[in-house]
Every structure is written in C-alpha cells, then in structure tokens.
C-alpha cells in the first residue's frame, strides 16, 4: 500500500531500451481494472475444435465435474477433469513478421480447484488454417494488448495477472513475446492496479491504477488514484 502511495502523480522511468524516441502507449490506466482491447466472443464450434486438439479429453460444464477426485484417475489435466474456457483473444504476428495469427489465453478450469488457483495455457494459431504454432503454460491470467516495442515486425503483448482476496484486488503486468517454442519476458511492468473498494462495504476505499508509455527508449509509469465505495 505504501509503495502505491509513493507512486501517485509520479513518473517512474524503467531501464528497458528500444529504437526511436516516439511515444508509444503500452498500457492505459483503468480505474475499473485493465480489460482486453476488443474483447470478443469466440465461436463455440471453433473453441471446441481448439480444445479437441489441445486436450485428449475435457468436460464442457462445471456440472459435469466428478463429485470427488478418483485415485484411479490420472492428474486432472491429463485425465480430462477440466472445463477449459477462452478468456483472452488477440490478433497479430506473434511468431514471425507478416503472419496473421491468433493468440488465446485458456483457463483450464480444473475440477475441484478454485478459479483463482487454476492453471492457464497460451496458444498461438495461424489464422488461415488454425495450425498451432505455440502452446505454453501461462503464469498470467489474461492478455490484453498487442504492441511492437522494437519495430522488428514480431508483436509482443501485455500480460495481466489478477488477484482478489477479501475485497482487495491487485494487478501486475508484463510485456511478453513468443521466442521459439516458449514465452519470454521483454519487460516486467510491476504493479499496475490496486483496489480496496470492497474490502469493507460501508467504508470508502481507494483505487490506484497506472498508465505505462514507452518514450525515448524508457518505460514510464504514471499512477492515478480515486476514492471509491463498494456498491
């Protein structure tokens, strides 16, 4: 909390470098929490084709989860006790320049596991034939924005990790890119959102959110705040 208070109205310069001096918006401040640009609904048939390629077996509804774990059933992911959903979709050239590709963040939805503790996968497919170019475990919980920070024609994206506990919600962000068959971190942006709005229902809380821009080869973070109440 004190770290956030020290950031209000202050611009913090990062150490990353990039070509050129033009300003590029990396992340816009959102007092309601950062959301994916152009959030879209994936065609259910297309989602099922993707899940069928990725998982040997999966469930389609939480109601289909077994009542209790079975000792003769393999691990939940391998054994099919998962209810996968697509939580983020981005479009760009993620593995090579000029390719048209789709990036999906998939929540595995393991049966018997709370949502906040569940696993995620990131999948990149080619747009024209849905061929899978990359599958990787994903430490974040969403992907919200495509950008190209170094001008090489291969897109990076902004990853967001969200955590809420007892009415306190936080978000951290990083810039990732697909390098070969894995993800690599281009820049860790740190904390970008902190809210105590619903920590206590009748007591005002506070929200801190950060915008990040890339200017002259440096990442600059600008933090704003507001007083709020739980509705």
How many folded domains does the chain comprise?
A: 1
Q: Which of 80, 73, 126, 75 is nearest to 104 (CA)?
A: 126
What pLDDT is recorded for position 194? 94
What pLDDT is recorded for position 3? 43
Residues in the chain: 231
Domain with 141 in it: 2-66+75-228
The model's pTM: 0.83
Contact by Cβ (8 Å): 140, 133:
no
- How do residues 27-52 score in pLDDT, each as one tens digit? 998 888 887 665 677 888 989 999 99
Dihedral over Cα of 61, 108, 172, 4: its sign = positive
- How do residues 37-96 score in pLDDT, each as one tens digit? 656 778 889 899 999 999 989 999 889 898 875 544 444 455 579 999 999 999 999 999
């Amino acid at each position: 909390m004190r770290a956030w208070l020290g950031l209000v109205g202050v611009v913090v310069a990062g150490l990353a470098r990039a070509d050129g001096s033009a300003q590029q918006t990396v992340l816009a401040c959102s007092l309601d929490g950062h959301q994916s640009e152009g959030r879209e609904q994936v065609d259910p048939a297309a989602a099922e084709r993707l899940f069928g390629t990725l998982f040997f077996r999966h469930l389609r509804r939480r109601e289909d989860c077994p009542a209790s774990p079975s000792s003769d059933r393999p691990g939940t992911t391998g054994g099919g006790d998962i209810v996968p959903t697509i939580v983020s979709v981005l479009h760009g050239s993620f593995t090579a320049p000029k390719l048209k590709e789709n990036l999906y963040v998939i929540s595995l939805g393991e049966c018997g596991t709370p949502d906040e503790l569940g696993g995620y996968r990131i999948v990149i497919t080619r747009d024209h034939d849905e061929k899978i170019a990359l599958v990787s475990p994903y430490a974040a919980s969403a992907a919200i924005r495509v950008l190209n920070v170094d001008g090489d024609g291969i897109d990076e994206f902004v990853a967001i990790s969200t955590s809420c506990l007892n009415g306190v919600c936080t978000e951290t962000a990083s810039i990732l890119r697909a390098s070969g068959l894995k993800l690599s971190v281009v820049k860790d942006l740190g904390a970008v959102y902190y809210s105590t709005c619903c920590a206590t229902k009748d007591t005002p809380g506070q929200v801190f959110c950060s915008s990040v821009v890339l200017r002259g080869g440096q990442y600059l973070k600008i933090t704003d705040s507001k007083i709020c109440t739980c509705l």
